[in-house]
Amino acid sequence: MGTHLEEIPVRTTRREEMIDVTTLVRAAVRRTGVEAGVAYIYCPHTTAGVTIQENADPDVRTDLLGHLVRLVPHDAGFRHSEGNSDAHIKTSLVGPSQVVPLDEGQLGLGTWQSVFFCEFDGPRSRKLLVKVLAG
Ligand code: ZN
């Protein structure tokens, strides 16, 4: 039996963006061969996170990202010398992980739900980890 841990490379192209990675997560889950349990989706970065949101209207993504940018401006007099405190704060707001139930080999996402990789300090080469726990 394997570890049921899959790594998904994600290449981001803008400083801030939300990338629909649902197809990649589904493929990673399939590779584990696990039929039932939970998929734990984890983003091992301090300036990128993962969320689940609507996939039907791309304006939802645009509004969410736009609002986060207004909420935490890039240059707001932060102390952190790297100059990317806004990205750290946005990442904490979004969070580093999501858990999705898995049944009969299928992710239990709702019809309008997708998994989004959230970049806040790109462009960079990133990764997403998917750990599938059978049960
Ligand atoms: Zn930093």
Spacing, Cα 93 to ligand 1 middle (Å): 15
pLDDT of residue 3: 78
Q: How far apart are CA 25 and CA 119, in angstroms?
A: 17
Spacing, Cα 88 to ligand 1 middle (Å): 7
- The answer to whether 48 and 126 are in contact (CB under 8 A) is yes
The tens digit of pLDDT for each residue in 41-68 reads 999 999 999 999 999 999 999 999 999 9
Q: How far apart are CA 35 and CA 56, in angstroms?
A: 27
Q: How far apart are CA 24 and CA 45, in angstroms?
A: 18
Q: How far apart are CA 93 and CA 40, in angstroms?
A: 18
pLDDT of residue 2: 61
Spacing, Cα 76 to ligand 1 middle (Å): 14
Spacing, Cα 83 to ligand 1 middle (Å): 6
Spacing, Cα 66 to ligand 1 middle (Å): 21
Closest CA to 17 of 74, 61, 57, 70: 61
Positions in the chain whose pLDDT score sits under 50:
1
- Phi, psi of 3, rounded to the nearest 5 degrees: -85, -10
User: Whole-model pTM above 0.85?
Assistant: yes
Spacing, Cα 80 to ligand 1 middle (Å): 7
